[in-house]
Chains A and B, each alone.
Chain A
Amino acid sequence: DIQMTQSPSSVSASIGDRVTITCRASQGISSWLAWYQQKPGKAPKLLIHAASSLQSGVPSRFSGSGSGTDFTLTISSLQPEDFATYYCQQANSFPLTFGGGTKVEIK
Chain B
Amino acid sequence: EVQVLESGGGLVQPGGSLRLSCAASGFTFSSYAMRWVRQPPGKGLEWVSAISAGGGTTYYADSVKGRFTISRDNSKNTVYLEMNNLRAEDTAFYYCAKIAVAGSSGYGMDVWGQGTTVTVSS
Question: Shortest beta-carbon distance, A76 to chain B, in Å?
Answer: 21
Whether A49 lies near B44 (C-beta < 8 A) is no
Interface size (B, Cβ < 8 Å)? Answer: 24
A97, CB-defined interface residue at 8 Å: yes
Interface size (A, Cβ < 8 Å)? Answer: 26
Whether A92 lies near B106 (C-beta < 8 A) is yes
B47 contacts across to A, CB distance below 8 A:
89, 95-98
B95 contacts across to A, CB distance below 8 A:
43-44
B101 contacts across to A, CB distance below 8 A:
49
A-B contact count (CB 8 A): 64
Whether B107 lies near A43 (C-beta < 8 A) is no
In angstroms, Cα B101 to Cα A32, docked, is 13
Question: Shortest beta-carbon distance, B51 to chain A, in Å?
Answer: 12
Whether A46 lies near B108 (C-beta < 8 A) is yes
B113, CB-defined interface residue at 8 Å: yes
In angstroms, Cα B100 to Cα A43, docked, is 15
Main secondary structure of the interface of B (DSSP, over half): strand
**A44-B45, A95-B59 known; A50 and B110 CB under 8 Å?**
no
In angstroms, Cα B112 to Cα A18, docked, is 28
Most A CB contacts (10 A, CB to CB) among B46, B59, B109, B113 go to B109
B113 contacts across to A, CB distance below 8 A:
43
A101 contacts across to B, CB distance below 8 A:
44-45
Q: Mark B61-97, 1 if CB is under 8 A from A, else 0.
A: 1100000000000000000000000000000000100
Whether A91 lies near B107 (C-beta < 8 A) is yes
**A87-B44, A87-B45, A98-B45 known; A46 and B62 CB under 8 Å?**
no
B50, CB-defined interface residue at 8 Å: yes
**What are 11 sample pairs from A and B whose C-beta atoms fall under 8 A apart?**
A36-B45, A36-B108, A46-B100, A50-B107, A55-B100, A87-B45, A91-B108, A98-B44, A98-B46, A98-B47, A101-B45
The interface of chain A, by Cβ under 8 A from chain B, is 1, 32, 34, 36, 38, 43-46, 48-50, 53, 55, 87, 89, 91-92, 94-101
Q: Lowest 7 CB-CB distances: which A-B pairs, in order?
A: A34-B108, A43-B112, A96-B47, A49-B107, A49-B108, A32-B106, A94-B59
